[in-house]
Structure 1
Amino acid sequence: MRKFVMALGLVVAAVVLLAPHAGWAQSSGVTGQLIGTATDSDGGAMPGATIVATNTETGFSRTAITDTAGFFRLDLLPVGTYDVKAALDGFRTEIKRGARVGLGSSVRIDYILAESAIAEEIVVTAEAPVIETTNPSVTASVGDRAIANLPLQGRDFTDFAILVPGTVAADPSQDGGRGGLNMGARGIQNSFNIDGSNSQSSFFGEERGGTRPPFTFSQAAIKEFQVIQSSYNLQFNASGGVLNAITKSGTNQFRGEVFYYYRDDSFLEEDALGFESSAFDQKQYGFALGGPIVKDKLHFFVSYDSQDYVTPYEARFRDFPEERTAEWEAITGLDYDSETGEIEQTNDADVIMLKLDWQLSDNHLLTLRDNYATQEGENLTSSYSNTGRSNNGLEENSFNSFVASLNSVFSENAFNELIVQYANEERPRTANNTDLPEAGIYGYKGNWGQNQFLPNFLDEDRIQIIDNFTYYMGEHTLKVGTNLDFVAFDDGFYRYGGGSFSYSNWDDFFNDEAYSYTQSFSDYDGAVDFNTNYYAFYLQDEWRTSPNFTLTYGLRYDLQAHDDPKETNPLYPDTGQIPDDTNNWAPRVGFAWDLAGDGKQVLRGGMGMFYDNTPTLLDANAMLANGVRVIRVSERCEFGGCPDYPDRWGSLGDLDSVTPDIFVFDPSFENPETMRLSLGYEREVMTDFSMGVDLIYSETEKLERKWDQNIGDATGELTPDGRPVYVPYYYHSNYEDFDQIMQFTSDAEATYKAVILKARKRFSSGWMLDASYTWSEAEDNDSNERSVSSSSAYPEDQFILNNDWGPSNFDVQHKFIMSGSYQLPWDMMVSGILYIRSGFPYTAMDGRDHNNDGYSRNERAVVETSPGVFFHYNRNTFRQPYYRNLDLRLSKIITFGRNLELEIIAEAFNVSNEDNMYTDETELIDRYGNFNPDFGELTQAGDPRGYQLGLKFRF
């Protein structure tokens, strides 16, 4: 940190001294900005000129006066198209029409005013620049044209984030394949903001609603969004990517649309493994409507989006001895044919949004928005093929977000943005079966009975207050802001409440010889309620050192304030104690240099610190699994004490001794901190076409990981490949009153390097194109997101973390993405997205516990290459195959009069029917020392070619 601050000081000094010597601010997170100059024909400054920008759709207007240097700025402009007029007595008035102000953009418009003895005006078309020459951040925007016209299988606008360089769609073998932002970071290090407010679940550290709901905002409600890969605007804070979106508003014209999209199993081909869905059906429908309540003053917008969805997943128990089916049914009381085979999953959703925009006066704009969403999914807990019906569950979600924002102009130099949000999220989960304890066969060969995670529930209530105040002071633009988040949680997570048996193989199950058994007990129903508050403050100066050089620098402070423990365990007083990290000061500096001063090319860069919050799932787990509120007991059945399947322990009194598992925080635990550098160059190579390159580097420290404090000291013996051997946790070497003591600590690290090449042709002459190639390298020594598992996500040697240094689980070395649309004759349009990336890494695993720490799911394979010579595989040395996908869309518009039109849409996904196979056979050697002949076999297939038809009626 000290070295970074010194380096930051040198950078600031260098750019100040070397930059050629007024102050224009970057725009806010939900609006845009117009900046420019007024000069005479000789280039002299024109002070006192009146600049008026009027939104062509809503009538919203804002006025500025040029200063002594002829500069003007119009801040806090709602996204849209503006006519901008410059007037000064004795000079001809000039109006520039069609200036497009985008989200987070700073658009420059310059005027050369000619003398005129009579009152006259000239009207010209505004030529918006292709590149932005005042923003030091690395950003990319996805506008309303792309959102409306590019192919999309669902209605989740965040899926379009994949269009942005550096973003990566998630690994389907890890979490179902939903999109992510990443930038080499963990998913919990990303940030989602809609209409300037937090759109995240602080509990899970993910987008509000998580990965289960198909969408939480209607695609028809989103105006545009941007992804910030590297931000030097201190208003934002995330080590990964920042997704910043705004919703649509009504205009002075009544406009709306009704839409319907349909797919079923007849629209899908069989996948590469020959599986052909016979029960797939998806319907998506809804409407959007906006218009004036009072013209030029008060406007409304409403949208509704719904999905009816059913799809099968094929459940199968691997290596199941079919000749013993009747015996299995007699023991479990389940029907094998119902438990396996094709099982239907549903995922139904409804979302409604209401929005009002009220221009209270020329200086105040009030916006009210409410978004309410519900979702329900049967058998949605798991899609893994080894999951039987009884091991699945019903998932439900409901979430509401009410946002009020007030943009105010206090004077010619003072502006304020106030945002207040109340949000609520509820996630109840219920189990399909509560009569049987869970049973699982080693090697992911089969799971049935009550899922160990179910039932559970989560209620999350948020009150957020944001205020950003901007003051223009000569060459400087000062910005001070705060973001206060007060979040209350009510969490019920009674893991293992129904009991869970683990078996080494099928024979052991039939012989009732379990490997281990775990069950939890609670006098609190496995529930806890607590609060976590988040405080952020920043001060920023944007200094226009010359007409073509902008320097942005400032300081931000972040604090995550945890709740006090509900109770502590007298046998381990630190239980429930969660330390606050109070030294999160984040200096940042960035610059943007318009090299020739003509707005055609820019050199931008910067460096800064970023801090992330810790998902409060970890807080809840430490408060629940403390040996008091929830008492979790695990037995290795070889030592006796396990019940006979399918029995459970009736109470703690049934046990001879109780040594529970607990979760605790390291007293010195801190939140992750990232230092990031970036340097980029972008140039307009022809009208409406730009090309650029960005270099990004980051180092992250204090990433969370967990380790077991009850592992004993090294015995002095070595594993075959020369690593220390320990005394396992179940001998209670350090704490005899406990079994596993899982401690959350913060000593993991990561690095990220990226080179981004990009080209963009904005829409004109009937077509647009975006293309980029990203080379990146993400490395770390722990990739766990927020694991609260007591049996997995540990480093191989919990005392020597750097032995696990290698490619991150999120490392995608090559990514190419291209999207575009082309207007055909006869009101037809074709558009498409081509996406190619290299595969995610994976590790050759070993089922044996070589170092005797009591864990076998963290061992990398050890192979004897010759007598007495052993080879130990490094982490993540294997790669999944490349992923390739091409989606196309063809549409035809039929007009009915002036304002009525019907759009007929046909979409094809995975047009070339790529297999997109990947493996889940990552164990090279099993716990008995046997080689797995199927290691690396491509056992899972991506989605096959499919089609979708849609209708959209606009009025």
Structure 2
Amino acid sequence: MNRACQTQVTIIDLPTITQRARKRWVIFAAASVVILALAVPLSAQTFRGNILGTVTDPNGAVIPEVTVTAKNVGTGIERSTVTDSSGNYTLAELQTGTYVVTAQKPGFAKYQIDNVVVEVTSEKRVDVELSVAGSEAVVLVAPAAQVETTTNTLGGTISTKAVADLPVNGRDFTKFLVLVPGATGDPSGATDSPGSFGLFSANGNRGRANNYLLDGTDMNDGYRNLPAINEAGVFGTPATILPIEAISEVAVLSNFEAEYGRNSGAVVNIVTKSGTNEFHGSVFEFFRNNALDARNFFNPKPDPQTAFRNNQFGGSLGGPIIRKRTFFYFAYEGQRERVGLNSTARVPDPREIAALGGTTNPVIARLLARNPWPAPNRPLPLFDDTGTPNLFVTTRALNDVDSMIGKIDHSFNEKNQLTARYFFGNSNQSFPLAILAGNVLPGYNTVTPTRVNLFSISYLKLFSNTKVNEMRFGYNRFDEGFFPEDQNFDPRTIGLNTGIVGSQDFGLPFIRIRNDPVGSIASIGATLSVPRARVDTNWQAIDNFSWKLDRHDLKFGYEFRRTFVNAFFDAGYRGRLDFDSLADFLSGTLSGGRSARGDSRRGTFQNSHAGFIQDTFRWRPSVTFNLGLRYDYMGVIAEERNRFSNFDPASGLVQVGTGGLDKLYNSDWNNFSPRIGVAWDLTGKSKTVLRA
């Protein structure tokens, strides 16, 4: 998680890299060279699944050299392999979906099992018992629910049917994530659960310790480590939306194998739908309108009913471009939300201003000409000091979202397949009550434009029936800013100079009248936490290679990830002006205030590497050992112009690149993660499995 992009980082310890650390890195690099010599380098996070099993005769003896074929029902694409000397077979990296599995060998009757459902990251076990030649062909239907018998991974999968059928507030996929065992979230469904600082917590980990993948490639905001799609803008509202119509299934994994890493929490692997040989589509609209709603308890008559209008609409279409070869899928979802937030306040009455002699300060006079406060609409005696509000006001808010996703799957032949996917999301939000005590009066909302781009491409190559390699590339760009609603107003045009130097910090200062005899007068100006903005860019190149050797299913791979965060955080740069009373405000007599200065821009980057090797060892048909070793190197966070500093007790604050400080902190070279697990099918009938 790259959080250093907007703050100075202070670290006291400044050790140098030891010879032992260098040696460990050299050893790992050498091991990586060996691995990469066997696998064309690039993810370890698959978005496909496997079918595996053992073929026996009626007496239970294993049968080698049986041809096992899996045919995707939707696309008609087939994949074949042969059993090894132990009768075992594995069909790795299959597209999720429903399959027909057949097994054939001369001298034996054909065996077929229908409705074999392959889910993301799953291993579907299909054991086969072949009858001798002359018997009738065997045709079975796989059970709808089957216990996974070969892995020790915990968590669960949210199926296509669950995604389609479950009612989800706001059509936000993140609400699904607490449906699996071990996952908990904020009961209110807010974006950042209190105490967790994330969407949900898996097995007690921090909410921002999860890793979000879309079709196996990075979907993380490099700054907050939340999903770039459906991450909140302002007011806790998702800024973009992954169309529910495009989600095939979601796997939420914990206690995962060596191919997964980077985070201590869960891996959330979302797989999008693909086209098939038949055209399928949908059109929808969901709406909510206050005309159909009861009044809020805090919105009684005679005040106007709070406005609420929300429309979510869209559609999807998928099908063949070339039957049994090339397929497409496209989905769009839009949202138009118009709401009102009612509040009461005490504002200056024009009669009170006149009674105080009007303004004597030309800057304040020009400010009042802009009508910074709404006119009071609840009559009160002049200078009433009972604390009763004289204004009921509705502040308008909006949320406009457009999100779309497209996917192409192409099969050159049985041994070469290509998948490409692109997501684009764009939104504009404007809400009051922003973070850090935002203003409730109209005109001072926080405006949040957000744009998200995600692209991935995957190339699957079958070298033989036992060797499969997949290269994958991912690109993820999250662009979001928080600005005052009056960001086009230059206060210098009315003679108010708070020291701003550019249009980036335009907008009225935050103005408070704190100790007036009538009580608290509503402040004007947007929250001091804005403006701020960031662009997070992630590049990912990954490769995994699967190799079946008798009872061993080997898998190894390498991942490179580069994260760049270009940001500024001009909190307080617009300034705050304090006045003791309305009379002091009219005369321009300040009682205090503050204004931040300096260059808050940061361009931080981090290069990270990972490698893994794992072995799924079928010791017996009912007992599987899962062994693995993963190495992660999280690169040192750096800044493009060395605008980081560190605190040295002897020298004080030292800027990176000066005083012998060549980098922000010491490299961490020892992130080796061994894995060992076992799955024991107690009955041998896929009914009860013990995992450890």
1:204 aligns to what SS in structure 2?
A: coil
Relative distance call for 1:206 and 1:547 in structure 2 (3 A) is same
Q: 2:290 aligns with which of 256, 262, 265?
A: 265
Q: Does 1:335 align with 2:373?
A: yes
1:292 Cα offset (Å): 0.8
Name the CA distance, whole Å, in 2 between partners of 1:137 and 1:509: 65
Q: CA deviation digits over 1:884-916, x for unaligned, max 9?
A: xxxxxxxxxxxxxxxxxxxxxxxxxxxxxxxxx
Name the CA distance, whole Å, in 2 between partners of 1:604 and 1:129: 18
Count of paired positions: 575
Name the CA distance, whole Å, in 1 between partners of 2:190 and 2:314: 32
Residue in 2 that maps onto 1:249:
274
1:44 aligns to what SS in structure 2?
A: coil
Looking at secondary structure, tell me which structure has more strand per residue: 1
Q: Does 1:355 align with 2:407?
A: yes
Residue in 2 that maps onto 1:211:
232
Name the CA distance, whole Å, in 1 between partners of 2:581 and 2:293: 36
Relative distance call for 1:518 and 1:589 in structure 2 (3 A) is farther
Relative distance call for 1:167 and 1:506 in structure 2 (3 A) is farther
Q: Does 1:112 align with 2:129?
A: yes
Name the CA distance, whole Å, in 2 between partners of 1:205 and 1:513: 46
1:453 aligns to what SS in structure 2?
A: coil
1:509 Cα offset (Å): 8.8
Relative distance call for 1:557 and 1:517 in structure 2 (3 A) is farther
Name the CA distance, whole Å, in 1 between partners of 2:94 and 2:351: 68
2:653 aligns to what SS in structure 1?
A: coil
Write the mapping of 1:362-401 to structure 2, written as runs, cut at 5 A: 362-379=414-431, 382=434, 387-401=440-454
2:208 aligns to what SS in structure 1?
A: helix
Q: CA deviation digits over 1:824-874, x for unaligned, max 9?
A: xxxxxxxxxxxxxxxxxxxxxxxxxxxxxxxxxxxxxxxxxxxxxxxxxxx
TM-score by length of 2: 0.76
Note if contact 2:74-2:276 (Cα within 8 Å) is conserved in structure 1. Answer: yes
Residue in 1 that maps onto 2:336:
308
2:596 aligns to what SS in structure 1?
A: strand
1:537 Cα offset (Å): 1.7
5+ residue gaps, structure 2, are 1-43, 377-390, 487-505, 646-650, 658-662
Q: CA deviation digits over 1:733-769, x for unaligned, max 9?
A: xxxxxxxxxxxxxxxxxxxxxxxxxxxxxxxxxxxxx
Letter in 2 for 1:493: F
Q: 1:438 aligns with which of 487, 504, 510?
A: 510
Q: 1:473 aligns with which of 541, 549, 552?
A: 549
2:161 aligns to what SS in structure 1?
A: helix
Name the CA distance, whole Å, in 2 between partners of 1:390 and 1:103: 48
Residue in 2 that maps onto 1:821:
none
1:513 Cα offset (Å): 9.7
Residue in 2 that maps onto 1:140:
156
Relative distance call for 1:503 and 1:408 in structure 2 (3 A) is farther
Note if contact 2:399-2:427 (Cα within 8 Å) is conserved in structure 1. Answer: yes
Residue in 2 that maps onto 1:585:
672
* Alignment root-mean-square deviation, CA: 3.4
1:270 aligns to what SS in structure 2?
A: coil
1:423 Cα offset (Å): 2.3
1:314 Cα offset (Å): 3.0
1:431 Cα offset (Å): 1.2
Note if contact 2:277-2:320 (Cα within 8 Å) is conserved in structure 1. Answer: yes
Q: 1:295 aligns with which of 309, 323, 327?
A: 323
Q: Does 1:529 align with 2:603?
A: yes
Relative distance call for 1:81 and 1:455 in structure 2 (3 A) is same
2:169 aligns to what SS in structure 1?
A: coil
Q: Does 1:122 align with 2:196?
A: no
1:264 Cα offset (Å): 0.9
Write the mapping of 1:890-929 to structure 2, written as runs, cut at 5 A: none
Percent of aligned pairs with the same amino acid: 27
Residue in 2 that maps onto 1:541:
615
Q: Does 1:159 align with 2:235?
A: no
Q: 1:84 aligns with which of 77, 101, 108?
A: 101
Relative distance call for 1:233 and 1:504 in structure 2 (3 A) is farther
Note if contact 1:314-1:385 (Cα within 8 Å) is conserved in structure 2. Answer: no
Q: Does 1:598 align with 2:685?
A: yes
Residue in 1 that maps onto 2:536:
460
Name the CA distance, whole Å, in 2 between partners of 1:277 and 1:244: 42
1:147 aligns to what SS in structure 2?
A: helix
Residue in 1 that maps onto 2:56:
39
Name the CA distance, whole Å, in 2 between partners of 1:349 and 1:182: 27
Note if contact 1:252-1:291 (Cα within 8 Å) is conserved in structure 2. Answer: yes
Residue in 1 that maps onto 2:37:
none
Residue in 1 that maps onto 2:10:
none
Note if contact 2:199-2:226 (Cα within 8 Å) is conserved in structure 1. Answer: no
Relative distance call for 1:325 and 1:136 in structure 2 (3 A) is farther
Residue in 2 that maps onto 1:885:
none
Relative distance call for 1:505 and 1:405 in structure 2 (3 A) is farther
Q: CA deviation digits over 1:513-537, x for unaligned, max 9?
A: 9897432223x5x423232222222
Relative distance call for 1:73 and 1:273 in structure 2 (3 A) is same
Name the CA distance, whole Å, in 2 between partners of 1:505 and 1:152: 49
Note if contact 2:616-2:625 (Cα within 8 Å) is conserved in structure 1. Answer: yes
Residue in 1 that maps onto 2:256:
231
Residue in 2 that maps onto 1:280:
308
Q: CA deviation digits over 1:904-950, x for unaligned, max 9?
A: xxxxxxxxxxxxxxxxxxxxxxxxxxxxxxxxxxxxxxxxxxxxxxx
Q: CA deviation digits over 1:430-470, x for unaligned, max 9?
A: 21234432246999996531432222222222221111112
Q: CA deviation digits over 1:242-286, x for unaligned, max 9?
A: 211100000000111111111111233334544685321111111
Residue in 1 that maps onto 2:245:
220
Relative distance call for 1:265 and 1:420 in structure 2 (3 A) is same
Residue in 2 that maps onto 1:837:
none
Residue in 2 that maps onto 1:181:
200
Is the deviation greater in 379-388 or in 532-541? 379-388
Letter in 1 for 2:73: T
Name the CA distance, whole Å, in 2 between partners of 1:219 and 1:289: 13
TM-score by length of 1: 0.56
Note if contact 1:315-1:342 (Cα within 8 Å) is conserved in structure 2. Answer: yes
Relative distance call for 1:84 and 1:171 in structure 2 (3 A) is closer
Name the CA distance, whole Å, in 2 between partners of 1:541 and 1:216: 38
1:486 Cα offset (Å): 1.6
Q: CA deviation digits over 1:83-118, x for unaligned, max 9?
A: 111101011101111111111111111111111248
Residue in 2 that maps onto 1:770:
none
1:505 Cα offset (Å): 11
Name the CA distance, whole Å, in 2 between partners of 1:86 and 1:267: 59
1:154 aligns to what SS in structure 2?
A: helix
2:619 aligns to what SS in structure 1?
A: strand
Note if contact 2:434-2:527 (Cα within 8 Å) is conserved in structure 1. Answer: no
Q: CA deviation digits over 1:406-425, x for unaligned, max 9?
A: 12221222111211012222
1:161 Cα offset (Å): 1.4
Letter in 1 for 2:201: N
Letter in 2 for 1:335: W
Note if contact 2:605-2:638 (Cα within 8 Å) is conserved in structure 1. Answer: yes
Relative distance call for 1:174 and 1:300 in structure 2 (3 A) is closer
Name the CA distance, whole Å, in 1 between partners of 2:553 and 2:175: 35
Note if contact 2:333-2:402 (Cα within 8 Å) is conserved in structure 1. Answer: yes
2:638 aligns to what SS in structure 1?
A: coil
Q: CA deviation digits over 1:594-647, x for unaligned, max 9?
A: 122221011213xxxxxxxxxxxxxxxxxxxxxxxxxxxxxxxxxxxxxxxxxx
Name the CA distance, whole Å, in 2 between partners of 1:58 and 1:112: 27
Letter in 2 for 1:563: A
Is the deviation greater in 328-337 or in 500-509? 500-509
Letter in 2 for 1:363: K
Letter in 2 for 1:58: T
Write the mapping of 1:789-828 to structure 2, written as runs, cut at 5 A: none
Name the CA distance, whole Å, in 2 between partners of 1:340 and 1:257: 44
Letter in 2 for 1:282: N
1:269 aligns to what SS in structure 2?
A: coil
Residue in 2 that maps onto 1:415:
468
5+ residue gaps, structure 1, are 1-26, 606-955
1:159 Cα offset (Å): 1.8
Note if contact 1:107-1:129 (Cα within 8 Å) is conserved in structure 2. Answer: no
Note if contact 1:316-1:386 (Cα within 8 Å) is conserved in structure 2. Answer: no
Note if contact 1:156-1:215 (Cα within 8 Å) is conserved in structure 2. Answer: no
- Larger RCO: Structure 1 or Structure 2 (Cα < 8 Å, ≥ 6 residues apart)? 2
2:164 aligns to what SS in structure 1?
A: helix
